[in-house]
Chain A
Amino acid sequence: MSYATQKLAEEKVFKDPVHRYIHVRDQVIWDVIGAKEFQRLRRVKQLGTTYLVFHGAEHSRFSHSLGVYEIVRRIVDDSFNGRPEWDASERLLVLCAALLHDLGHGPFSHAFENVFNLDHEEFTRKILLGETEVNEILKRVSKDFPQKVADVIAKTYGNKQVVSLISSQIDADRMDYLQRDAYFTGVSYGHFDMERILRVMRPREDQIVIKSSGMHAVEDYIMSRYQMYWQVYFHPVSRSAEVILTKILHRAKALSKSGYDFAQQPTHFQGFFDGTFTLNEYLALDEGVLMTYFQLWVNEKDPILADLSYRFVNRKLFQYIEFDLAKDYMKMKELELLFKKAGIDPEYYLVFDSSSDLPYDFYRPGEEGERIPIHLLMPSGEIRELSRESEVVEAISGKRRTDHKLYFPEDFLTEDGKKKALKKQILDLLK
């Protein structure tokens, strides 16, 4: 028996709050889960700073990755099993891609990537193809297997059905994170009938379609996604925490470049500050490491780094107002000047941030569509795009919702001390 088809002597299961159990029979999958690069995902939270708003949201990318694997396993082993339009030889590949799709995420992914101009997808590729335990395991399947897994995750693999299972407008990734994030945040949104959706998914030509009888379950899924984005993912308070986190990293980077003598040397960050980091240095970072630095930096001499770190560690976040930059960008300039006069550096303490989401996008022939649409398989065999059949989905199709906020430390402006008149002027502008 080859390594690719080797089964465990006994099925292993992981107890999971969302799917009840994660089932593993394949030796390859079991070995990948045990690889150190995959175990690292236990130390990266799925929702970054959201735990500062929804205290239950401490779950990791490890549990999400297992969840995506389990959903794909059920699709290929149950829903697609024996269907002539599904190529069963792709089974192990799609399972590995599902399990490893988030492998390259770093600590507090979004903020970290933003400051150091990194891309987690690039790291996923590097981990899959580099000198890593994961690569060693995948290579035992076949020499080109790591590359194939990387291609599926990068959406450049030839078989589009395989890609769609991991990445499309109704994929295993979203189906897991909506339910998992709803469970751990404790919100009542994010629930939908996944069992029904899995039962009505069908492989057709180069895509995955949904039998039209499952349309209402898909509507529910799309509405769940919409609500989760605005109630959880774009929550203004967790965005405030992310703004501060981003500014801590910016400040540390700027200080390092200026030759500042850190009381606590930022050893783990040095390669990122000067752009010389290695893959192993990237893999050595996790959220525990970052939090340790933030706690130590609370006592740094630099008042900005110390203050921002204190704010993040102790959840003393920035206040925010709605801010329409289109109308008010002159006001923004004025605020920047006033902040400088008041001795508050606007680079770190006056931050514009926007969030935007498109709940469902349809296909515009000949134009760059954002996402591949969801297609329904009608009883006649015809394929119809979802928003043409569903009035609920049509109502939100192509409609982007955007939210702009301006973040600032209100406590700096209200505390007793010097420049009271100036600070009052700033507060009046921020009303």
Chain B
Amino acid sequence: MLEEHAKIIQFIGAADGITGRKKLQKMVYIAKKLDYPYKEKYEFHVYGPYSHELTLRVEELCNMGFLQEDRQDKGSYVQYKYQMTDAGEHFTQMAQVEEAAPALVECISQMKNKSSRFLELVSTLLFFDHLPKEEQIEKLHAVKGKLNFTEEEIADAYEFVMHLMNMRTIH
């Protein structure tokens, strides 16, 4: 029952809270692309890969009181912070979802430490991972031209993906 919901609570719990809807979207997407068991469907959107299903799940979990959403007014925009509640923790135990693997917990922690701009870059490259590397980069510039990602940032993004993949293998 609501196993996918429970996995999202667990994800946010493992991160000890996530600030920013965009960041949450990209973190789950990257984890999914690394073959961690998330079922949310993604499509390409304003800020890269985006899952309507994930948005819905998070809203439902907030309504149920299993996640807490805090709005932070940043002047020109509003930022949202999500945290697991005690009721949410209890629910994940009741739902009997498998405990998050150590590699996943580490992956979540490392993604959390990155900026949402960087995660947008990583997830966009991963969205085009069926293409050869040069075409991925070409596509990135076509859809994210306004963000002016530098060669260095792109190289860092590839390195980060390799690092996360190696971590998954080692664990």
Residues of A bordering B, CB below 8 Å: 113, 117, 119, 121, 154-156, 158, 325-326, 329-330, 332-333, 336, 352, 354, 356, 364-370, 372, 400, 402
Judging by beta carbons under 8 Å apart, are A156 and B139 in contact? yes
The reply on B76 being an interface residue by CB < 8 A is yes
> Contacts A117-B39, A325-B2 given: A368-B60 contact, CB under 8 Å?
no
Closest A residue to B42 by beta carbon equals A119
Kindly state whether residue B82 has any CB partner on chain A within 8 Å. no
What are some 24 contacts across the A-B interface (CB < 8 A)? A117-B39, A154-B43, A154-B44, A156-B44, A158-B143, A326-B63, A326-B64, A326-B65, A329-B64, A332-B1, A352-B1, A352-B2, A354-B60, A356-B56, A356-B59, A364-B77, A365-B76, A366-B76, A366-B77, A366-B78, A368-B20, A368-B22, A368-B46, A370-B52
A368 x B21 contact (CB < 8 A): yes
Which chain B residues border A119 with CB–CB below 8 Å?
Answer: 41
- Which residues of B have CB within 8 Å of A325? 2, 64
Are A155's CB and B20's CB within 8 A?
no
Shortest distance between the CB of A14 and any CB in chain B (Å):
29
> Contact between A367 and B43 (Cβ–Cβ < 8 Å)?
no
A369 and B46 form a contact (CB under 8 A): yes
Q: Does B50 contact A (CB under 8 A)?
A: yes
- Which residue of chain B has its CB nearest to the CB of A336? B1
Task: Name the one of A354, A364, A366, A368 contacting B50, with C-beta atoms under 8 angstroms.
Answer: A368
**Which of under 10, 10 to 19, 20 to 34, or 35 or more describes the interface residues of B?**
35 or more
Q: How many A-B residue pairs have CB under 8 A?
A: 69
CB-CB under 8 A from B143, the residues of chain A are 156, 158
> Which residues of A have CB within 8 Å of B171?
none
Q: What's the nearest-Cβ distance from chain A to residue B138, in Å?
A: 10
Q: Give chain B residues whose Cβ lies under 8 Å from the Cβ of A352.
A: 1-2
User: Nearest 6 pairs between A and B by C-beta?
Assistant: A326-B64, A366-B77, A368-B21, A368-B22, A158-B142, A155-B44
Q: Closest A-chain residue to B139, C-beta based? A: A156
Report the minimum CB–CB distance from A327 to chain B (whole Å): 8
On whether A155 and B45 interact (CB within 8 A), knowing A326-B66, A333-B94, A367-B21, the answer reads yes
Chain B residues, CB < 8 A from A368: 20-22, 25, 45-47, 50, 55
Find the B residue at minimum CB distance from A346: B1
A contact residues around B80 at 8 Å (CB): 367
Contact of B20 among A156, A330, A367 (CB under 8 A): A367
Say yes or no: A367 contacts B44, CB within 8 Å: no
Beyond contacts A156-B127, A365-B76: 7 other A-B pairs, Cβ-Cβ < 8 A, are A121-B43, A156-B139, A326-B66, A329-B94, A352-B1, A367-B77, A370-B52
Which one of A117, A336, A372 contacts B46 once the chains associate, using CB atoms below 8 Å? A372
Across the interface, which residues of A come within 8 angstroms of B25, CB to CB?
368
- Please state if A356 and B47 are interface contacts (CB–CB under 8 Å): no
Complex CA gap A365/B94 in Å reads 38
Chain A residues whose CB sits within 8 angstroms of the CB of B41 once the complex forms: 113, 119
**Set of chain B residues within 8 Å of A365, measured between Cβ atoms:** 76-77
Pair A366/B79 contact, Cβ less than 8 Å:
yes
Q: Which residues of B contact A366 (CB under 8 A)?
A: 74, 76-79
Query: How far apart sit A332 and B22, CA to CA, in the bound complex (Å)?
Result: 33
B149 at the interface (CB under 8 A from A): no
Residues 133-151 of B contacting A (Cβ, < 8 Å): 139, 142-143
Shortest CB-to-CB span from B36 to chain A, Å, is 14
A369 to B47, CA, bound (A): 9
Whether, in the assembled complex, B160 has its beta carbon less than 8 Å from a beta carbon of chain A, the answer is no
Q: Is B118 on the interface with A (CB-CB < 8 A)? A: no
In the bound complex, residues from chain A placing their C-beta under 8 Å from that of B1 are 332, 336, 352
Q: Within B1-56, which residues are at the interface with A (CB < 8 Å)?
A: 1-2, 20-22, 25, 39, 41, 43-47, 50, 52, 55-56
Closest to A129 in B: B130
Chain B residues whose C-beta falls within 8 Å of the C-beta of A330 in the assembled complex: 94
Determine how close the nearest CB of chain A comes to the CB of B135; give it in whole angstroms: 10
